[in-house]
Structure 1
């Protein structure tokens, strides 16, 4: 909600922004206890310096600046709040039950897909080994592509191994399973001295450092296109608390975006990746037939008696509205009601890609970057992915997509 600048009133988004990295902090004694429990050694053995004041604190963890005793390197130490795993995993059960009731009494407010997605993603987000791997994978892919966005490097020897045990609880509708995590609550990464990405919205800041905010944000959007269409994994929560900024005169636009907090990511299969690429290629070229063909391959179909040319045109116009060039806050708010398309019945890979895209769009609007060509940038990477998939080395992937299409063509979404 903090990213919905121009859609929600500014007073709302400003208030919600504090929830991204300014939540109440865990006491230093608790932080030390978690570090010792994870690494089986006192913090003073690992760190020669440890700043007691966290750099940031969000719902799952807080980050401290420290110095490694072994190398004298300045690092960032991410420490999970004690007991938050149990609280979050119980909360998701409550959310699921609420979503079931809401969908029954108000079918237009069906959030069950979102609840199910968070049921699957929360255990991964609470597992710092999973985030460790995502940081490495994304950093490597962006460096190979020549993108300037910064992803912190991780310290392999300082990430607690994941250990878990399960306990089950009977709830309405069947047995649900909770997972209690016993490790992977701390990991150490490269410290990057970065400022708020929202500084791009300050004319005096950009003038002082000779920054072209449109060029900087273009590089950020390209990074997400590379991750999604060339790798099949992307950061799913790029709000202002997770995207920072390093001033660098040598970088495109004079600054480099920094992507932090990789706990919430989205991974898609090769079939979904190419299907999503086809969606953007169809949107960019206003290819109505192509869009409906690929949506069916991804599991979305309408009863034939409901489908007509007007419905198809309306759907593609709404979808294009979500990814069209950014405009100012006032016009965004005026158009918000028309642009919020009904995505609740769309394939999950598209729902959460569009969610990520809306957060990025909100970030651009928040810094008054009008005219950011979202559709043009993402469709360029989609086109490259489709071209790569059509080459001999990609025939197996294309074959998998065709099989996926055949299996899902018979689905009838009510």
Structure 2
């Protein structure tokens, strides 16, 4: 009988119990944050002074922010994605945003000695045989993978090597199932929204992210689509090194640029007034390019990059925008694509009746007991599917008593629409971060019209000429 390898036995035991320990950690922390807010809501209700209430809320948000940050940072994995979703200026309290925004693209890196065997097994050769230079320290690390800068033998240009963290898939699936259970409870008690369907779509989409061959195909498809539909592509898409793609490794061209989160610092470093006209023009161009690309992808193609969080956006020379990481993409069925085009027109036309019809067409089921149901439903449509905050709203607070989600319960929400919802909310977060409040529905109106004309849902009344009109953002921003 071979001798017992105690270290090997210990590692296997640790691996076996890791999901249970992780689940325990999640529930202890989630219950702590949730009950903290519930107790606080009761305590603050006895305070009549509005200013005092506001001060108390700020302190509570600061306390919760530290706990949420610690949870996401300590557990990593899927919770880093949660931080990316909720850590946005328009959605979460300012205290949360200040803490969570620092987690974008800052997942703990896997040591190189654990990454090297994955690379060499997947590519079938040693690193020294493939690469002339390979930077051991990654230039970025996210929840699923990390990226290294390198140079292939015999080549003059640098590449990026994306490699998956070993064992991360099982842990992320554990995280998602815990979140689904929490979502079921929250939607029954506090937020009248079909959160469970949202988490089911997240489970499906993140499952795709573990196959880098699928990501490479998506990158090439979107790159080709944007090239064919524009004289100049609104965003840069990295070129895939086709013979160096496997399920767990993806090699692509290196694009030089600065993360969009560092844009303000870069502008100041160049001696440009961050609040001046030159900086405003640069931000306007960046936002115009990014949202134009998304309008075309969602409404014309239906196949789109579904993860525009700040860590995936680089700003290059001349305010060009590079869009990275195609692990999360969505192929929207034509029925939903056309239904969303119709909703975009309703929002752009400020038409509550058409918005209600579009909700039904999209399969969004709502229940309302408020007096002004139609207008409240329209406000909910703006909140969910447009980047411009509704009049009088400076921050979305789904737990607030006067929020649309409290007044109009969303009983059923098609899973496939979550990718659009998340994308629009991330774009809104970027616009708020850049200090620009604008409507993507207004910008996408001509694209939506063209999609409806092609589907035979709208008569052509000069749609193409309107779609080509320039100066859209000049008109939008002149109204700010």
TM-score grouping bracket, smaller chain normalisation: 0.7 to 0.9
| Aligned with residue 295 of structure 1, among 356, 359, 362 | 359
1:85-234 to 2 correspondence within 5 Å? 85-103=169-187, 108=192, 110-146=194-230, 147-160=233-246, 184-202=247-265, 204=268, 208=272, 212=281, 213-234=283-304
Unaligned runs of 5+ in 2: 1-82, 459-480
1:96 shift after superposition: 3.0
Question: Which TM-score applies when normalising by structure 1?
Answer: 0.78
Unaligned runs of 5+ in 1: 161-183, 249-254, 393-414
Alignment partner of 1:62 is 2:129: no
Partner of 1:383: 449
**SS of residue matched to 1:332:** coil
Alpha-carbon distance in 2 for matches of 1:309, 1:384:
36
Alignment partner of 1:361 is 2:428: yes
| Residue pair 1:284, 1:379 contacting (<8 A) in 2 also | yes
1:244 shift after superposition: 1.2
| Residue pair 1:111, 1:344 contacting (<8 A) in 2 also | no
| Residue pair 1:344, 1:351 contacting (<8 A) in 2 also | no
1:199 shift after superposition: 3.8
Partner of 1:175: none
Higher strand share: 1
Alpha-carbon distance in 1 for matches of 2:331, 2:179:
23
| Aligned with residue 336 of structure 2, among 244, 267, 272 | 272
**SS of residue matched to 1:77:** strand
| Residue pair 2:382, 2:390 contacting (<8 A) in 1 also | no
Distance 1:142 1:343, change over 3 A: farther
1:241 shift after superposition: 0.6
Alignment partner of 1:241 is 2:311: yes
Distance 1:207 1:280, change over 3 A: farther
**SS of residue matched to 1:66:** strand
Question: Which TM-score applies when normalising by structure 2?
Answer: 0.68
CA RMSD of aligned residues (A): 3.0
1:309 shift after superposition: 8.8
Count of paired positions: 359
Alpha-carbon distance in 2 for matches of 1:6, 1:283:
19
| Residue pair 1:6, 1:332 contacting (<8 A) in 2 also | yes
Q: Deviations over 1:138-169 (max 9, x none)?
A: 11112222233111111111111xxxxxxxxx
Which of the pair has more CA radius of gyration? 2
| Residue pair 2:355, 2:381 contacting (<8 A) in 1 also | no
Greater RCO (CA < 8 Å, at least 6 residues apart): 1
Comparing 377-386 and 345-354, the one that deviates more:
345-354
| Residue pair 1:77, 1:187 contacting (<8 A) in 2 also | yes
